[in-house]
Every structure is written in C-alpha cells, then in structure tokens.
Amino acid sequence: MGHIKNWRSLSGQRMAVGLIVVLIMTFAIGVDSLVSAENPNTLIINADQGTETISRHIYGHFSEHLGHCIYGGYWVGEDSPIPNVRGIRTDVVEALKKINIPNLRWPGGCFADEYHWRDGIGPRSERPKMINTHWGGVTEDNSFGTHEFMDLCEQLGTEPYICGNVGSGTVEEMSKWVEYLNFDGISPMAEERRKNGQEKAWGVKYWGVGNENWGCGGNMTPEFYADQYRRYATYCRNYGDSRLLKIAGGPSDEDYNWTEVLMKKIGPRGMWGMSMHYYTTNWSNKGSATVFDERAYFDVLARCFKIPKAIDKHMNIMDKYDPEKRVALVIDEWGTWFDVEPGTNPGFLFQQNTIRDALVAGIHLNEFNKRCERVRMANIAQTINVLQALIFTEDEKMILTPTYHVFEMYKVHHDATLLPADLRCVDYTLDDDKLPALNVSASKDKEGKIHISLCNLDPNKSAKLDCELRGTKVKKVSGRVLTASAINAHNTFEKPDVVKPAEFKDVKLSGSTLTMTLPAKSVVVLEVE
C-alpha cells in the first residue's frame, strides 16, 4: 500500500508539473499572439550567412533603335548645340554614370534581327539608309553604329552587350562582326576597323546570338533555333585574350518547353547564358501609364509576382540539365509596357513613369537579387524615352524618372553578398484580392556595410516593421525613401522633382533590432553599419 501511495503522490506531482507547463505554454502562445497582432511585420536578416554574390550585371540596361532612345536620347551629333562629346549627350552620360550602369544591350530587340552592322560603319555620309520596319516605319540613317556605340560604352565605363542578327543575317556576317570588334592581328576586318579610326580591338565579351527567335527574330521553333544557335555560335570565335560569353535567345514568359529544348540540345557547355523576356503588362489591355485607379495599380503589382514564379520554374528546368548552375539566366528585357502617351507615335513606345513604376522596379530587382545564384544579368527595357525609361529627353532638356531613382538607390547591391532574409508581413488587400504588402532583399558589401531594400506596396497604409539583424553588431543606421502623394505621381519637364529620394528618418536602432515605419507606396533603402 505504501508503494501505491508513493506512486499516487508522484503521479499527482507529475500532473501538477504538466499543468504548469501547459499553462506556461498557453501563456507564451497568448503573448506571442499578442506580439504578432501588435507587430505583424517582422524581418530577420542573418548577416553572417551569405554565400552568393549579387552580380552588378543584374542592374543592366537595354537601348534599341526605337523611337527616341538612340536618336535624341543618346545621340545628337557633333554639330548639335546640346552639349555632347563626339555626338553623345553629356547630360545623359553623366546621369547614367551616377548609377554605375554595368552593361548596355544594343542594337535590339527586334531591330537587331534586321540590322546589318556594316551599314553602320565608315563615313556617316556614305552609310546606307534603311527602314525600321518594326518601330514606326521611320528611316534609319545608320549615323549611330558600332563605333558610336563603343564610344558610348567607353564614356559610360560600361560593358557592351551586342545582340547579333540571326533572324535575317548570316553566320558569316556575325562572325565578321566579332572579328571586327575583337581581333588585333592582321585580317580584312581588323584592317577595316583601323581604317575607320579604331586601332586596338575592343574585346567585347557579351554576345547575344539572336533575339526573340520565337517571334520577331524569325518565328522559329525551339528545335530549329537550337540548331541555328549552335551553327552561329561555332563561328563566333575567341580572339586573343577575349573570351566570348554567348547568350542564347531564350523563352518568353512561361514558355517552359523552349527552355527544356535549349537546355537539352545546347547544354551548359554550349552557352554562357540563356535569355528570358517577361514584361509586366496585360497585353489585351495595357492601360494608361498615368491615368489609372487603384484596381489598375494593384493589377500591375500583382503581375510582378508572377515573374519570380516563372523564373523559378525555368530555373528548375535548367537545374535538371545543369545542376552546377554554369548557365546564367539573363533576363534581358523586363519592365512595364503601357499605352503610348496621347499624341505620340504608336511605334515609338513612349510612356510616362510614376511611383507605380518605381515599385515595379524595386520588386523586380529584389527578386532578381534573391535568385542571383542563377540570375546573373538583367536589362530593363529601355534606358531612354522608351517603355519603362530611366531618362526622358526633349531637345536640350533632360529629366530623371522614378525608376531611375530606384536604380540609383539600389546600386549599393552591386557585387555585394546576398544575405538570407526572412520576411513575414500583412497583405495589401483590394476587394477579394491580396498581395504581400512588403517586399525585400538585403546584402553586405565589401566594406561590411549591410543594405536593406524595402518596398511597401500598399498605397493607403504605412507599415511598421521590426527588423532583427543576427550575426553582427550594429552601430548606426541611415536610409533614403522614394514615395509620392498619389499613385500616379510622376516627373515632367515642367516639374522634374515631384518624385525624388529624400532622407528616411523614421527608423530607430535598439541593440540589434531596427524599428521603422515605411510610408505607403514607397521604396526605402537602409544602410546599416
């Protein structure tokens, strides 16, 4: 009986202890629920765990012979009263140098597959004219050609990325273009380059073998294009120390079969990269760039989140054939595509640029950053006066768009180490639809500074965010913010500073925790030391 009493006593003690544990857990859950209810937005950044590098080439640009991107954008000619260096606008060069533009894709786009490079060399007065059949049916006088483009890249301090003509060109034509640009010995192409004023070879690394060959670049099947790529790429030779980084014309949007065929038929040893194009647009109803309601605002941002899902599926296919991730995914056309501004040439694709476009840019760049192990180059379409432009020009005037300011703020991520970031946040809701209200990426530069880029998509509500930085000691924090009073706020030649960055003061540091309030419809970049 004594044993029974002792057992009952012990059992009672265990029950009491269990009850206490349950109460403690219940209390803890209650407290956690209370904290979550009060602070639903949390971010944890592991500052000591990054392994992948965010290539600066993710922040690349695309400039096509389209509308006023080249002519009136970069190029005004030596005799222009607009300040220029050898015909290239000084103000544009200075603006792009401030954002450390890493690479520039040219001459297209669809234009590339009707462009014959020899029409754009030699004395300008002797260059033949052509019709730009893709973009407005205007006459192209070829005054801006290979030498002018290479001069532009040298003034910018950027890497040229040349897209060759597979759609209407020949293997010989592309092969000789590579030789003209890259060979320093004795050959007909090298001698012709010297005759045209360039003694030393330029050594261009990045070469696109065709553009959108599923569409304007030839309406090819993936099987046919893969064979054409292998043929063209064979004769794109390495000269001297120049090693070509060849980029195959990859898929559009969710065309996963195109990726499958190229990875299978070309493989990781046949190409440095594979391109992908995905525009944030509703092709059946593109809508206005400036006249829109919250529903149109929401729908554009919602489409931003379809793109990383598509990228992930393409990367999964690439992983099957290339588990070592040798082939880069090159998203060399991305951005918004709206109706052209009233009164402008429909073929020139000129659209305004609002705080909505800034958020589109911020979300894209955050998502590219997070996939930097495979996404190693990207090019926004397009740099000047076309689609989601960074710069607008009109005669001697030039202004910067909200998208430009995002690129300027995000340049801190160039070649930095991606940091793991765990974000939990509330939704931005409209009617029965919802999106994550916040979007983020983080990196650490070579000096040890941490940069956090944040987007608050909600156009109506600010967002309080608690950010814990693990694995580092924090001494100070500073930041900048880009926001506006209205969802369609934009800069004009009359009012060029409606949307521009300002100092971000609404952030506090306590130990290793940052507490901040992100304004509605804003892009914020923090620097933590």
Listed residue (229, 239, 140) closest to 189, CA to CA: 239
| Residue 527: active-site member | no
SS3 160: strand
CA torsion 170-173-175-179 (nearest 10°) is 180
C-alpha span between 159 and 411 (Å, rounded): 16
C-alpha span between 113 and 107 (Å, rounded): 9
C-alpha span between 511 and 163 (Å, rounded): 50
The token duo for 448 is 């040890």
C-alpha span between 316 and 223 (Å, rounded): 20
Listed residue (242, 239, 220) closest to 231, CA to CA: 220
C-alpha span between 395 and 91 (Å, rounded): 12
* Annotated catalytic residue, options 64, 148, 212, 408: 212
C-alpha span between 373 and 329 (Å, rounded): 9
The token duo for 336 is 């918004």
The token duo for 518 is 């992100």
| φ, ψ at 369 (rounded to 5°) | -55, -45
* β-pair partners for 523: 455, 482
In single-letter form, the type of residue at position 297 comes to Y
| Residue 191: active-site member | no
* Annotated catalytic residue, options 114, 333, 367, 408: 333
C-alpha span between 44 and 424 (Å, rounded): 9
Burial of 310 (0-12, 13-18, 19+ CB in 10 A): middle
Q: Which residues are known to be catalytic?
A: 212, 333
